[in-house]
Amino acid sequence: MKILTVLGARTQFIKAAPVSRVLRESHEELIIHTGQHYDSNMSDIFFEELNIPKPDYLLGVGSGNHGKQTGEMMAKIEEIVLKESPDYLMVYGDTNSTLAGSLVAAKLHVPVIHIEAGLRSFNKKMPEEINRIMTDHVSEYLFSPTETGVVNLKNENITRNVYNIGDVMYDAVLYNQELAEEKSTVLQDNDLDQKGYHLITIHRAENTDDVEIMKNILDAFSQIEETKVWPIHPRTKHKLADYGINIDSVPGLKVIDPVGYLDMLTLVSNAKKIVTDSGGVQKEAYFMKVPCVTVREQTEWVETLESEANILVGTETAKIVEAVKKNVSPEYKDVFGDGKAANKIVEILATSEQN
């Protein structure tokens, strides 16, 4: 079985690590890195830390408007698919890399495998939502991380080859958490105490592309007195500079460069609370039982909202501050599988090949 895997963003590298590890025991995999995340702290370090094989193809597409970026990816991926003639093309999540890979494969009649299928925020203003829907509707195998995803697909009349196999990101956390404790020095390097800081990640376009929303979020950070650490996404940093916003004036805020996966696991697991707009960080917070506040109007990870493990607040300053200061005692459930999603994916594909 020959699989061509398309990756482009930080969370996709994390998701691919456990699957590639299992897949390559018995099958052939080639990796295309589109270059959607091209900063070394957002890309190279993840391949090194997670022991993901070096990409076979580096497309170097970089940033750009959605149409331009997706179009460039499609043209380059098409050449590789025609050259390699894979049995399957595998994509992860909901980025432009995901959409580009899935559309090329579908048009060339190469079966698409979508890992993290069935997620819905039900907000089509989010580019990620469009990417998810379109990818699911052209995929041959749909691996959902939760039962909610299976139900969402059924509601769109997608029932063939749909499997709830759990979340591959949970596989990655279980595999790497102990290693992170041994190797990461991010707390010492930034003078942070365990459970003595709030962790911030903000990068979604619906937040960063609106100057008023960013001002609301930063006003909230100013009103939260405790230490806050923010590994800032390059795109967010550039946007704030374009807006002329100086975040150095926010009290107690430590802005640091993007960190690798092991450092991020350490920052998440030791945080008092997390403030984010990232889908992946919402889940990592849940896996490691750290209360989360999500600065979005909707979330595709509805399971995390139970018992206030994750509080969805939107972008109003007062609501953000209230949620961060609120004392919560969440109950965490095993809604994301048993940490063996990668094994299940490979077993299902191998069995299908034999039949």
List the catalytic residue out of 33, 114, 198, 203.
Answer: 203
Sheet containing 198-201, strands listed edge to edge, beginning at the edge strand earlier in sequence = 253-256, 228-231, 198-201, 273-276, 292-294, 310-312
Helix (H/G/I), strand (E/B), else coil: 296? coil
- In whole angstroms, what is the distance from residue 344 CA to residue 44 CA? 28
Mode of pairing for the β-strands spanning 310-312 and 292-294: parallel
Helix (H/G/I), strand (E/B), else coil: 263? helix
- In whole angstroms, what is the distance from residue 202 CA to residue 230 CA? 8
Distances (CA, A) of 159 to 17, 140, 149, 197: 27, 10, 11, 44
Active site residue 33: no
Residue 103 tokens read as 């559309």
Cα–Cα nearest to 320, from 197, 198, 194: 198
Residue 89: its H or E element: strand 88-92
Known catalytic residues are: 203
